[in-house]
Every structure is written in C-alpha cells, then in structure tokens.
Structure 1
Amino acid sequence: MNVLTKPALGQPKRKFADLQRASMVRWAIIVALVAVLELTTRTGMISQSLMVPPSVILAELASIVPTEQFGQDAARTLTTILTAFSIGLVLGVPLGVFLWRVPAAGRILEPFIVTGYAMPTLLFYPVLLAVMGLNAGPIIVIAASMSLIPIALTTMVALNAIRPILHKLANSVSASPQQYYLKVLFPAATPLIFPGVKLGFIYAVIGTVAMEFILASQGVGFRAGFYYRELNTADMWAYIAVVIVLSVLVNSVLTWLEKRIRRDML
C-alpha cells in the first residue's frame, strides 16, 4: 500500500517543481533576448533605424503611458476588441448550436465557414470603409467575423462530442428545453468550447490591431503605424511593446480561466 501511495503523493510536488523550472527557463529566455537586443542595438550590429534598445523603449513607454493621447488610443482599442469579441461570442455560440442541431445544415455550411476561416477578411476593409466610413465600424465587423468562426466551429464540435448517456439522462428526467441546454449540454461542452472562445478573443485582438495599423484615426495599432510612417522608430516600438504586453496578458488570463474551467468541470 505504501509503495503505491508514495508516488501518488509526490506527483503534485513534482508537477509543481516542473512548472517552476519551466517558468524559470521562460524568464531566462526573455532576459537573454532583451540583453542580446540591448547589446546588438547599442553596438550598431542592428541599426537603430530598425530597432532601438529595449531600455529606450522602456523610457518611451514611461513618457507615453501617462499621456491623454495614449489613454484615448488604449480606450479605443480595448473598446473595439471587447465589442468585436462580444459580437463574435453572441453570434458564434448560437450558430454552433444550429450547426449541431441541424446536421444537414452543418454538413452544407461547414465548408463555407472553414473557407471563411482561412480567407483573409482584411480584403473586405475597403468595401466596408466605403459603406461605413472611417470609424470603428469596419474594424469591428472584420474583427467580429474573425472571432465568430472559431467560436462557432468549436461549439459544434463540442456539442457533437457530448456522451450519449447525458442526452438519455436529460430525457429520463423530462428536462425542459431550457434545462436541457443550461444544465446538461453547455456544462458538458464548456471545457471544449472554451478553447474556441479563447481563440476567438485572440483573433479579435489581432483583427483590431491589424486594421488599426492599416487605416484608422485612433487606437494603439493606428499610433504604431503612424510612427512607422513618420520614421519615429522609438515611439513605434513603444506602441508595439504595448501590443505585445496586451497579448501576453490576454493569453495569460484566458489560459488561467481555461485551466480553472477544466479543473472545475471535468
């Protein structure tokens, strides 16, 4: 008995130690990369017209972040991302349910949806710009469409993966349609749906920042593109650093939520 239980008791400790080592290695890679960039840009191995030292980027960030302009740009970008993601979530989940509920529609529409997933929706920006004008509307539409597709597809796949016994259980207790969806289907499918939701949010970020960079009047992506066209390398990299930090934070929060959901529901 003791021989069997000791490894089981030590397994969480080993797992925690492995996670700590992985975290230390990641930080070591980041520190080494920053040090290499600092050295190569300071010594002229990399032209400062292409890349500035990380210490300069940090100094520029310290001067940019407290400004009103940065606050307005950040508010515009975050509002656009959240709006696009909300639209993608509100439309994507019901679309996934429909594709699962009506298998014939799923078989017919799935190739079109997958094609839309692979097709660069940025190509439609000029048309949307002509129709909706130079505002956040075209960016929201494109980012929302990029967010919607992975959410819809993973919702359909997750519902198809539910064990048949759960459907029988719901029928055996005469569950109402509301109870069937809210207490059986969605709780069972959530661990598989959430990766699609996570991907949808990431695509909303990518679509928003990319479209702001190409053509917009405000936003973090717009400001990075503006300084790029002005050949202001230091400020351009400062805003790129903001996008990198935002992406890392979003990915960290969503990864934590995914692990929490899987632990609670699986």
Structure 2
Amino acid sequence: MTVLEKTLPVPPKQRDTLVRRAAMVRWAILAALIVILEVTTRTGMISPALMVSPSEILARLVSIVPTERFGQDAARTLTTILIAFTIGLVLGIPLGVFLWRVPAAGRILEPFIVTGYAMPTLLFYPVLLAVMGLNAGPIILIAASMSLIPIALTTMVALKSIKPILHKLANSVSASPRQYYLKVLFPAATPLIFPGVKLGFIYAVIGTVAMEFILAAQGIGFRAGFYYRELNTADMWAYIAVVIVLSVLVNAVLTRLEKRIRRDML
C-alpha cells in the first residue's frame, strides 16, 4: 500500500482513481525524460562522451542481450545478488528478533549496527580480497552485510511496535513459543518488516554491482566498468540500463507483494 493509499481518507473507488492518475503522471514524467534525453543527446547539448541517446542504448541492448557473454555476466550478478540477499534475510530477521527479545543487547549493539549502516563497507574490500582471494566471496560478504543491517533494524522496530494486547492475547490462549512467533508476532510485524526487506534487496544490488565495478572478472557491474575504462559510452549505458530495469522490476514485484500482505493483514 502506497503512502497515498494509507493517508487519504477517501472512498475505495476514489482512492483507486487517484492511484491510477498518479501512475499515469509517473509514466508521463518518465516519457518526458526519455524525450528530453533523446533530443539533447542527438543535438549535441550533451556530449556523446558522457551520454548517448536512449534509442542508441536500446539498439545496443538488442545486440548485447542475446550474446553468451551477457548471459554469463547476468547469471553471475543475479546469483551473487540472490545469495547475498538470502544471507541478509536469513541472518537479519533472527538478529532483529534477538535485539528485540533481549533489550539490553539491543541497547548495546544498536549503535554499532547503525554505524555499520552508515559506514561504507566497500572500504573492507581490500582486506577481504587478501583473505578470501579474487572471487565472488568478498563481493557476497559485503553485499550480504549491506543487506542484513536494514532487515535487522526494521525487524527490531516492527516487533517493538506490536500492540501489547496481542501479547496478552497469546498468553491468554496459552500459545506455544512456535505459535506465539508464527501466529501472532510475525503476522503483526510483517507489514513493517517488509520495507526493510525491500531495502535489504536494494542494498544487495548496490553492493554487488558496485563491487563488480571496482574489481571483478565477470558480471554486469564489471562489464559496465570495463566499457567505461574503454570509453565505450554506448555499451556502458546499455549495461547500466540493465541494472536500472532489474531494480525497477524487482521493486515493482516487492511492492505488489507488500500491498498484498498489507491487504491480507487488514
């Protein structure tokens, strides 16, 4: 559910109309930006060394995507992102539960976690490279750590925000620990945990592509960095466009899933 849907006290039909209009405006803005870029790059207002036209980017994508090399790069990047995000999810939620369940640990560890959230973990890449070698390991570890922190923090905040009546209800029916977590806590906290999960995936993408850009032998980020160093602007932007499209698609899927979860919780 978007902020517009949550905050406007309007009937459902009118709210749906407002949401559709907002979507139309977003698409209009996107189309206008594409037209502006096309005109400014074609007329030379933007140097070809910095940016090429959207139509040229699309043409390069059509020729690049079917190639075996692109398939290998995409498979490497997607695999790294999914592994890093899975690690962040599997470790982040239990860590958030622990920080909520043990308030003393939460008060002690939260400043360190928040500091790690703000600190660029990319700085640790040289150390990890020396320890783990030139492979996907350092990239996965850094991307997973970037993904874990927002998931853990939002899980802790979500559990803290659960109404006391739900805890009393679980105690009144003598719910087992498993029922307490699976039937009461997580259903109530999921709508607030999910934004952290979305952030976790976004940070997994950022960490993976950024590390591949800096130093890697394969991947979409590596290929964009390679073409940047080769001054091949068209292919560089084609690979950047792949990252943008991937991020938009995943965000759309997660947003739709979040809306469905919130609707089921109402």
1:108 corresponds in structure 2 to 108
Residues 1:240 and 2:240 are matched in the alignment: yes
Residue of structure 2 in register with 1:7 after alignment: none
Q: Distance in 2 between matches of 1:192 and 1:147?
A: 16
Kindly state the Cα deviation for residue 11 of structure 1 after the two structures are TM-superposed: 2.2
Which residues of structure 2 form unaligned runs of 5+? 1-9
Any stretches of 5+ residues in structure 1 without a counterpart? 1-9
Give the partner amino acid of 1:124: F
Distance 2:12 2:177 in 1: 41
CA distance in 2, matches of 1:165, 1:36: 55
Q: Does 2:243 match 1:257?
A: no
Cα displacement (A) at 1:179: 1.1
* Corresponding residue number in structure 2 for 1:4: none
Which residue does the alignment assign to 2:141? 141
Q: C-alpha offsets along residues 222-256 of structure 1, whole Å, 9 cap, x if unaligned?
A: 10000000000110010010011011111111111
C-alpha distance in 2, partners of 1:98/1:226?
43
Superposition TM-score, scaled by structure 2 size: 0.95
Counterpart in 1 of 2:167? 167
- 1:17: Cα distance to partner? 1.7
Distance (Å, rounded) in 1 between the aligned partners of 2:163 and 2:109: 24
Q: Quote how far apart the aligned CAs of 1:13 are.
A: 2.2
Amino acid at match of 1:202: I
Deviation at 1:165, TM superposition (A): 1.2
Give the whole-Å Cα distance in 2 for the aligned partners of 1:152 and 1:142: 16
Q: Distance in 2 between matches of 1:244 and 1:198?
A: 15
1:32 corresponds to which residue? 32
Letter of the structure 2 residue corresponding to residue 152 of structure 1: A
Alignment partners' CA distance in 2, 1:20 and 1:96: 36
Q: Does 1:93 align with 2:93?
A: yes
Partner of 2:60: 60
- Partners of 2:178 and 2:15 in 1: CA distance: 40
Counterpart of 1:5 in structure 2 is none
Offset of 1:18 from its aligned partner? Answer: 1.3
**How many aligned residue pairs are there?**
257
Equivalent in the alignment of 2:18: 18
Note the alpha carbon deviations across 1:10-53, whole angstroms, 9 max, x for none.
82222222122111211111111111111111111111111111
In 2, Cα distance between equivalents of 1:11 and 1:111: 43
- The CA distance in 2 between the partners of 1:183 and 1:23, in whole Å, is 35
| Partner deviation per Cα, 1:83-133 (whole Å, 9 max, x = no partner) | 000000111011111111110000010001000000000000111111111
The amino acid that maps onto 2:172 is S
Shift of 1:163: 1.1
Distance 1:13 1:186 in 2: 31
- The 1-side partners of 2:31 and 2:164 are apart by 50
Distance 2:145 2:135 in 1: 17
